[in-house]
Structure 1
Amino acid sequence: MTARRTWVRLALGGAMIAMAAAGGHAALQPVSIVKTNLPATQALADRYVAENKVPGIVMSIGYRDTPTQFVSAGRIAAEADAPMAGPDSLWRVYSMTKPVTGIAAMILIEEGKLKLDQPISDFIPAFKNVRVLDDPNGTTLASHPAKGPITVRHLLTHTAGLGYSIVTKGPLLDEYNKLGLNPAAVGPAMEPQMAAARAPSLEEFANRLATLPLIAEPGTKWSYSVSLDLLGRVIEVASGQKFDQFLKSRLFDPLKMNSTGFVVEAGNAGRLATNYYYMGETRVPVDAGKSSIWLSPPTFPYGGAGLVSSARDYDRFLHMLQNGGTLDGVRILKPETAELAMSNLLLPGTDTTMLGALSGLAGKLGFGAGGSVYLVDVPGAAGKGTFGWAGAAGTLAWVDRGRGIRGTVMVNYMPGEKWPLRADVNQSIHTDFAR
């Protein structure tokens, strides 16, 4: 396996493992002096910085419609003169892009421009005659015609049968890499090689993807995939807008998510955290904010892993969902559409073995519009109906509608499972809200 493939697999894999987790360090950084009504959560943030687990961390915690509280500690990079981490610091959210893409599709479903069970070949004709591998664990690409089409629902829920560099194996993985079907970025050291292979546009990405067989019949198996990236192309065709422009005009601008996008303007480079990679116990910077690859436009907008956002911005997205599709008098979705988006959209009988294995919550998780859905109350974790997802660089986001709590955790380190951050956050929030 090449170094590039290994890196991408480890980087993107952190998103799944972070959700499951519910020697060479730089010098310790000072903690913040922010005071909140969340003392246990603040103490957790301070401890992660004091123990040098992270240079900095920011969390947004919202309870119903009371003002959002921001908990922060440390700095956006390990250097002693780096800016303090705060609500408007910028972070690579990687797979926390997926729920944003999912909600964008739900806007079009509400408007009748998409239907949940509509074949995506209506928008991308290359997917008209998809095929399925005879043996997804085999040594050849022998395949047969699929029994049914890939639908919008399948893309939303990772049940289309598509692959991913962190999941796919054997000759199919080789084809994904050869065709440049790795829609993600890590840092300047790897980007030239990845960009040279990558499909040059979202349209071409979709068309190349359509030439490869699926790993399972559409709608039958949950398997983490590039489906939300492909959904970006469906959104383009259905809306008549470029995918990134659709997100800006229909989500980011109305919600005043002014710091969220696929590229960071040069004037905001000083707000962008450095992303780190742990090699054992050694923490290595892989994408410094002031020279980040996010300062230049990506090859195309990656609907599965491409966004940069702030704790303040992502909280506004979650708050809108928690409120049933509206925030500050601006309606993004009707309540029934928001409810549908955060409900279990998996078809009856779907094989969720992989989702259960990755989360450690076999039989307790479903999947909605780009994010997981808790089917039952999980003591010490989330309540039934909680919707959310995580990012490869350790970020976390969720909406626990039953308990009225939403949260965003912003850090930037890979792999995301290096520290038990989700479990620690769950415990601290439980302590704070039990007071």
Structure 2
Amino acid sequence: MSISRRQMLKSTGAAGVLALGAPSILRAADVINVGVTAPLTGLSAILGETLANCYKLAAAQLNADNGIGGREVNLIIEDNQTSTKGAVDKARKLLFSDNVDVMMGGILSLERTATLSVTGPAKKLYIYPTYYEGGECDPFMIATGGVPNQQIDNYVPWLVENVGKTCYIQGSDYAWAQVSSKIIQEAFEKHGGEVVGVDLFPFGTQDYGPSMQKVREVDPDMVWTMVVGNDAITAVKQYRSFDMKPAYVTQAFDEVFTTSALPDGEAEGMLSAQSYFTTIDSPENNAFVAAYRDMFGENALVNSISEAAYTGFMLYAAAVEQTGGTSDPELVEAITSMTLEAPQGTVSVSPETNIMSTNSIIGRVRADGLFDIVENFGRIKANDPNCSLS
């Protein structure tokens, strides 16, 4: 797994995407402790198990292939309970009691911000896997999930051309949906369309009926949903129960949600923009999905957040190999100098923002809840106007 700076990593080597090999002799006394906070309970629990599983897969593959430079990976996963307090408490435990070498994980923005409030002052590397609203500019945070321009800039003109010009937004009332809704409005205006309404709901909303009635009144070409976590299940079911006619589009839903959280066919026809879908047909992704199913079941599915978590783990492993140690500034420099063949495709992390250049892919939900890929715009560089690190 040894690499040189700016050398492209291949999936058969440092990226570690292939199936497990025979265990090598590890230096058990020399361990790399990896701390993960994942929402295993609370609002985001619907996605937390898959997130934790991808960290487990990465650790297992690395340990089966001589660990990281002969050092065994010790993975410690804590439930942050999808709460600010839980994320802070678990980050403190991992960092100061378990003495982890790196922090990873988190889904909602509140989880990221809470974790960063611990790792930032400690100048400890934190690798966040979920697409988010941008605006975080910590030199020790690496984001592998992307920011709005990577999901929205190519998606909106495609929607205007292929679906229609008018859009109504429904979303959860927190940072990611708040910022994204503004960017979506600007993008529709730029491309000759219009957002005709925006409704943002507090976490735990049970009745979306009044918003559905407003949608019926304005009759848009599409409804763009950014309702998240368990609330999204309620929102989708009510959308269907109201027999809504506009196209249902999003950049939030993935196959874990559309197959396990909803009844068969409930999400069929929805469009979603993500950096990854299980159905990507490439050697890297086919090997990744096969290894995941071998470990967690033949029908187990991965989503974009968890693929980004896996990719971040492999970037970290390659950086430790390259630098020969766990010095956080050196690891950040190494990670931002690499190109990696990940399951989603070729990725790299910009030293200007510490955000990964993710792929931008549009998928349409099939009857079985998986996604047919209808457009792949390839790798998109993150644009975060509120962050400049270089």
TM > 0.5: no
TM-score, normalised with respect to structure 2: 0.32
TM-score, normalised with respect to structure 1: 0.29
The structure with the largest strand share of the pair is: 2
